[in-house]
Structure 1
Amino acid sequence: MPRPLVVGNGKLLINFDDKLHMRDLYFPYVGQLNHVGGHFSKLGLWVQGRFSWLDEDGWTRKLGYGQESLVTDVHAHHEHLGISLQIADGVHQRDPIYLKKVSVRNLASEVREVRLFFHHDFSLNETEVGDTAVFDPILRTIYHYKRNVYIMANGKTDTGGINQYSVGIKRFNYAEGTWRDAEDGLLSGNPIAQGSVDSTISFSLILQPQEEKALFYWMCIGESYEDVKGLNQYVLESDPEHLLSRVAVYWQRWVNKEERDFADLPAEVVNLYKTSLLLVRTQIDQDGAILAANDSDILQFNRDHYSYMWPRDGALIASAMAKAGYTGVIAPFFRFCADALNKEGYLLHKYNPDGSVGSSWHPYIVDGEIQLPIQEDETALVLYALWEQYKSGKQIEDCQALYPTLVRPAARFLLEYVHPELQLPNPSYDLWEERRGIFTFTSATVFAGLMAAARFAQLFGDERRYKRYTEGAERIRGAMEKHLYDHEIGRFLRGIYVRADGSVEKDFTVESSLFVLFALDVFSVDDPRVERTMDAVKKSLRVDTAIGGIARYQGDYYFKKSHDTVKVPGNPWIICTLWVADWEIAKAKSLDELQEPKNRLTWVVRHALQSGVLSEQLDPYTGAPVSVAPLTWSHATYVATVLRYLEKVNELR
């Protein structure tokens, strides 16, 4: 299930599903240690003897964000209960504090009491073993704790704080949890439980006919009781409504810090651009990891997740954010990569947010042959992104510090990890992590990485390395022309495979990632070979259904929804559709020729969730999100394409 509502600040990330359950709570790293783990923490109401959780039938829900903000704007209405709610959720821009405002309107013609119930289903440090939940009668709060994780919940109305509470056992023997205790409108008041525990608290509002009142609720997360006690006191002294208002203002200022002329782009395209910037920000940990996605429902498919830092995804996301003017946000990413770099100069498959090596399916040995379990593009693209960062922010001190620790070791590896006969990068895994060979995408990124290293060498007066890196890049480009371009079919190959006997097998699969041929300045956009390649991409990967879009490659099997490979070569991907838009932008010679890529931007808007969240893929027949949402790469690619469009408009004007 996608996560249409995401709030965070770089150290705390909270996700909600479309039924308004809190499904993920990550702390102290974005993407690492999920203290909810996909379970259901939820909100319910009791009105005059009738009870309903917000995930039940009878509620209509509209999910979104406030204008240019990371504070949600959610509307829920229940006709039979005669209740409407407006909910605003946000995470404090600095501290690990989650804030919630629930405005409750009584639609009946009589005075009524409304009780709101907040249920907490935590599994601290990703397991319910050894948790404790306790009511604190001094602070009048509920808190859960285990070792170095404390989560304290509190709230207030116009008449006071927590009205009722209950702590109990969940999902053990026959115990369902304290949420069942809430459904008669009364909580038992049990003050403590240990093991697999949950808790529920309630608040009371007395509402006149058509009257609206607000409830404020918050959670403070820390490493000790003193931490959360202090944060709770800060909320009480500062006033939660004031704090939530400040959160909204901060993100409005943040997303608008760069003045930009959006030319003729429709308002909905601009709105999604700003939403995408904000959502990308939520997926970046303060210590530098840029997470692919944090939708824990992917666990149900393979018991692993997307909450990793892939250097390739991170580099492309960092590049987009740098071009958008957010160099400060992504500067820690490059320090993260420098620390992670292997002593031989390459980056591994993926990393956890704390910098440790992530899970992998790339082996060190296949058929008795020892190999590096890497995707070389991940190393190369980090260098490319670092140069984009420098161009945008001109932070020469940061780049000088990274020159000996990241640029030179990585460039040395790229120069040395070359097939001696072909002069192309040695075999490694492709960007989709599915096959091992020598690929056009990988070769193009190695060219771009070496050119970035050469520019840094020139910047720092290192002429000897400048010459070496430049010559290495030119050798790669020449070898691409010789071995990765096929004269018979008139386009570039996806790649080649070198067999044990030295023979070479060509891979003719049409592949969307071939956009790097022009996007990374390996070849000119006007090069006929590039034009024929991209024409094949547009023709062969077009999804011929009412949904449309562009597939990854011919015969894509990942989350496959159709066996009609002629009409549906694969599910439409947001990033692949935008790569084609990038091509259309690059080759446009007039403003009229920008209509097609502008249509693709509006296509993305149409297929975003109601809140603006973008998924990885779409169902080719229904347009429903497939795989994780939000996918950080989708949002960053949308940002990058909008910026390319605007640059082209200015150029053509």
Structure 2
Amino acid sequence: MPRPLVVGNGRLLINFDDRLHMRDLYYPYVGQLNHVGGHFSKLGIWASGRFSWLDEEGWKRTLGYSKESLVTDVYAQHEGLGLSLRIADGVHQRDPIYLKQIRVRNLTSEHREVRVFFNHDLSINETEVGDTAVFDPMLNAVYHYKRNVYIMVNGRTPEGGIDQYSVGIKRFNYAEGTWRDAEDGILSGNPIAQGSVDSTISFRLMLGPQEEKSLEYWLCIGDSYDAVKSLNQYVLESDPQRLLNRVGVYWQRWVNKEERDFADLSPEVVELYKTSLLLVRTQIDQNGAILAANDSDILQFNRDHYSYMWPRDGALIACAMAKAGYTATVAPFFHFCADALNDDGYLLHKYNPDGSVGSSWHPYIVDGEMQLPIQEDETALVLHALWEQYKSGKQLEDCQALYPTLVRPAARFLLQYIEPAYQLPRPSYDLWEERRGIFTFTSATVFAGLKAAARFAQLFGDDRRYKRYDEGAERIREAMLSHLYDPEIGRFLRGIYIRQDGHVEKDFTVESSLFSIFAFGVLPVDDPRVTSTMEAVKRSLRVDTEIGGFARYQGDYYFKKSHDTARVPGNPWIICTLWVADWEIAKAKSLDELQEPKSRLSWVVRHALQSGVLSEQLDPFTGAPVSVAPLTWSHATYVATVLRYLEKVKELQ
């Protein structure tokens, strides 16, 4: 399921799996539409009469990125074929162009012909119906098209351009696809096919003993034939290798634009910090949507995916990126949210990258009673994140423009959506989207959202609203201490449920999201009520296996791997483990006390994929990634925790 290699530019996103298949190609939005859809676009090699796809046994593959860059650095070697490949992939930093260089080395002492085959299993606009694939002899290129999406493939070696081609039918009437045509090293040359189609092209290299030569290959994506023809010409005139080098330089400059002292953090921790910044960037659409994840294999489990913008995830990711110095990168997110805001001032469950409302399982009616199908923390956290954005970038004009369109209507909703008898936010769904009630996490975010709105009102001289928002936040703080802190158990509850007969049911489940009490400023980190709550989190959610880490909450069932809840309360989550580290950092009073959270950063490094990609959660016994990877929230939380650690080191020094 994981996608260990991800390249993109905010318009075009391409994912590869660990067998070097292209599995996802999203355009014109990051996360929408997927023109590969999880199928296997493959790379194959023919040499000395023998053929092998790179997903077959016999290949040793090492996957990674070139230093501080969104250009991949992949090594593959096949002893039986006597060949090694050094592969670099990147997406142009501005245009929808994917570039690939393969340096092929002949490991034998013989002169040899080597043929490299590329198969393209595309489903344009996420359906195989009505596609066309055609060989264009004027450009010596192959392109696929349907309506307003054109994908052109081309390439060259020192021996010339495309040497062989074939287009044909796939997965229909017993036709497997043109990839089968490649396995004898010779393509049939069929020039066109329509319906459910694929294409395969090959390139020829003549290699002397121990000689290495390069192959350049590229995809151009656009809304018309003329658009992709123009991009193809741009690649040829600019030289594809030079373009790929420029892509690498651009991302190196981008990820190092902020000079930062990394104190005593190890090179591996710092490397993952920079990799995380880069990977987060690939998941942000140029129009503002911050996507949760774009690993289409999750479709196997629930016929839906993570290629949505959850306002909560987006807000917390925007906080991390703003603190890291990338305010311009996430600024469009807040305008996206302002446009998406309901007339009553709240955000819905999730959104598609184009701004339309995403799928949901939250109903408007339960047991005959009307309700808002929302997670209120999603609205509140956007206001909190906007204030963090302002603190980091001091973009006064941008925030002033958002004050009447986002801040004021959202704050008005937060003030009104209150349970009168408790002065807490009315019931909504929790941050995990699993239950409806009044939760500590949600209440803490509403407190933070109203405090942010109050600060904006004060900043803009709106004294009347400042007082209203600030007093509303303080009422929620007091209500949390009265109703969500339980003195009998000496810690905060996950939440409470108000039943139809008026009875209040307490939820004593220990949950990692209780870090929100100090993280969003409800109470200081050294308050005894915070300490007792977080100690319960560490004690109750620790995963007692060799893998370690912390679970989301007691009895977590999502992708459950063990029924031994005493040892494994749930799978270890990257995010939840880092939340524990955040508390340890915040309460530290000496450099020695920072050693434990520092070790948690190293724990994350150990459980990243070889390429640096972080998953959502881990198998508690093997450490294998579970659910989607990369998860944008995991990478952003890692960035935020590293920054908190560095701030604390500076403070203690």
Counterpart Cα distance in 2 of 1:578 and 1:351: 26
Aligned partners of 1:631 and 1:553: how far apart in 2? Answer: 19
For 2:155 and 2:456, how far apart are their aligned partners in 1?
Answer: 53
2:323 — aligned with what?
323
Structure 2: which amino acid aligns with 1:339?
D
Please name the residue that 2:196 is paired with.
Answer: 196
Give the structure 2 partner of residue 402 of structure 1. 402
Specify the SS of the correspondent of 2:51.
strand
Per the alignment, residue 228 of structure 2 pairs with 228
Q: CA deviation at 1:501?
A: 1.1
Q: Distance in 2 between matches of 1:260 and 1:395?
A: 22
Equivalence for 1:112:
112
Structure 1 counterpart of 2:316, one-letter code: L
Alignment of 1:45-60 (within 5 A): 45-60=45-60
Task: Give the match for residue 25 of structure 2.
Answer: 25
Give the TM-score taking structure 1 as reference length.
1.00
Give the match for residue 651 of structure 1. 651
Equivalent position SS for 1:287:
coil
Aligned twin of 1:603:
603
Q: Residue 159 of structure 1: CA displacement?
A: 1.8
Residue number in structure 1 paired with 2:461: 461
Structure-2 residue corresponding to 1:281: 281
Name the structure 2 match of 1:3: 3
Equivalence for 2:549: 549
Q: Which residue of 1 aligns with 2:251?
A: 251
Q: Which residue of 2 is the match for residue 62 of structure 1?
A: 62
Alignment of 1:534-613 (within 5 A): 534-613=534-613
1:80 corresponds to: 80
> Following TM superposition, by how much is the alpha carbon of 1:173 offset from its aligned partner in structure 2, in angstroms?
1.0
Deviation string 1:402-444 (CA, Å, 9 cap, x unpaired) is 0000000000000000001000000000000000000000000
Deviation per residue, 1:498-536 (Å, 9 max, x gap) = 011111000000000000111111100010000000000
The amino acid of 1:49's aligned partner reads G
Aligned to 1:339: 339
* Paired letter, 1:495: G
Secondary structure, aligned partner of 1:550: coil
Q: Which amino acid aligns with 1:457?
A: A
What does the per-residue CA deviation read over 1:577-622, in whole Å, with 9 as the maximum and x for residues that have no partner?
0000000000000000000000000000000000000000000000
Matched residues in 1 for 2:517 and 2:66: separation? 39
Secondary structure of the residue that 1:471 maps to in structure 2? helix
The answer on 1:122 being equivalent to 2:122 is yes
Query: How many Å separate the matches in 2 of 1:189 and 1:432?
Result: 52
Partner of 2:470: 470
Separation in structure 1 between the aligned mates of residue 437 and residue 456 of structure 2, nearest angstrom: 29
Letter of the structure 2 residue corresponding to residue 178 of structure 1:
T
Code of the residue aligned with 2:194 in structure 1: it is: Q
* Partners of 1:618 and 1:573 in 2: CA distance: 6
Q: Which residue of 1 aligns with 2:218?
A: 218
Equivalent-residue separation in structure 2 for 1:449 and 1:315 (angstroms): 11
Gaps of 5+ in 1: none
Give, in angstroms, the shift of residue 569 of structure 1: 0.1
Identical residues among aligned pairs (%): 85
Q: State the Cα deviation string for residues 342-390 of structure 1 (Å, max 9, x = none).
A: 0000000000000000000000000001000000000000000000000
Matched letter for residue 101 of structure 2: K
The aligned residue for residue 159 of structure 2 is: 159
Map 1:159-178 onto structure 2 (within 5 A).
Answer: 159-178=159-178
Match of 1:633 in 2: 633
Q: Distance in 2 between matches of 1:302 and 1:552?
A: 21
- Tell me which amino acid in the other structure corresponds to 2:317: I
Report the AA paired with residue 616 of structure 1.
E
Letter of the 2:652 partner, please give it: L
Q: How far did residue 116 of structure 1 move?
A: 0.1
Q: Is the 2:615–2:630 Cα contact (8 Å) retained in structure 1? A: yes
In 2: Cα distance, 1:638 partner to 1:72 partner:
21
Q: Structure 2 CA distance, aligned partners of 1:453 and 1:260?
A: 31
The aligned amino acid for 2:141 is T
User: 2:101 corresponds to which residue?
Assistant: 101
For 2:418 and 2:174, the matched residues in 1 are separated by 61
Separation (CA, whole Å) in 1 of partners of 2:532 and 2:433: 26
Alignment-derived partner of residue 414 in structure 2 = 414
Partner of 1:615: 615
Q: Which runs of 4+ in 1 moved over 4 A?
A: none
Code of the residue aligned with 1:182 in structure 2: it is A
SS of corresponding position for 1:593 = helix
Shift of 1:48: 1.1
Partner of 2:183: 183
Structure 2: how far apart are the matches of 1:157 and 1:87?
14
Tell me what 1:148 maps to. Answer: 148
What is the alpha-carbon distance in structure 1 between the residues aligned to residue 51 and residue 524 of structure 2?
A: 65
Match of 1:38 in 2: 38
Query: Within 1, Cα distance between the matches of 2:196 and 2:644?
Result: 51
1:269 CA drift (Å): 0.1
Partner of 1:368: 368
What residue is the counterpart of 1:383 in the other structure? Answer: 383
Pair 1:435 & 2:435 matched = yes
SS at match of 1:142: strand
* Equivalent AA in structure 2 for residue 482 of structure 1: S
Q: How does 1:238-317 map to 2 (within 5 A)?
A: 238-317=238-317
Contact 2:82 2:107 in 1 (8 A): yes
3-state DSSP of counterpart to 1:556: coil
What is the distance in 2 between the residues matched to 1:400 and 1:226?
Answer: 41
Deviation at 1:294, TM superposition (A): 0.1
Q: Deviations over 1:231-263 (max 9, x none)?
A: 000000000000000000000000000000000
> Whole-Å Cα distance in 2 between the matches of residues 500 and 104 of structure 1?
70
CA distance in 2, matches of 1:256, 1:68: 8
Deviations 1:604-650 (A, max 9, x none): 00000000000000000000000000000000000000000000000
Q: Which runs of 5+ in 2 are unaligned?
A: none
Would you say the 8 A contact 2:159–2:206 is kept in 1? no
Determine helix, strand or coil for the equivalent of 2:423. coil
Could you tell me which amino acid in structure 2 is paired with residue 476 of structure 1?
I
In the alignment, the residues of structure 2 paired with residue 555 and residue 369 of structure 1 have an alpha-carbon distance, to the nearest angstrom, of: 29
Give the Cα separation in 2 of the matches to 1:234 and 1:32: 25
Deviations 1:308-362 (A, max 9, x none): 0000000000000000000000000000000000000000000000000000000
**How far is the alpha carbon of 1:103 from its aligned partner?**
0.2
Contact 2:428 2:438 in 1 (8 A): yes
Alpha-carbon distance between aligned partners in 2 of 1:311 and 1:291, rounded to the nearest angstrom: 10
Partner of 1:484: 484
CA distance in structure 2 between the partners assigned to 1:523 and 1:409 by the alignment = 27
Counterpart residue number, 1:521: 521
Q: Structure 1 CA distance, aligned partners of 2:294 and 2:403?
A: 32
| 1:123 partner letter | S
SS of alignment partner, residue 331 of structure 1? helix
* 1:134, distance to aligned residue in structure 2 (A): 0.1
Give the SS at the match of 1:150. strand
Aligned match of 2:89:
89
Distance 1:649 1:148 in 2: 53
Q: Partner of 2:424: helix, strand, or coil?
A: coil
The whole-number CA distance in structure 2 between the counterparts of 1:606 and 1:508 is 33
User: C-alpha distance in 2, partners of 1:476/1:554?
Assistant: 26
Paired residue total:
653
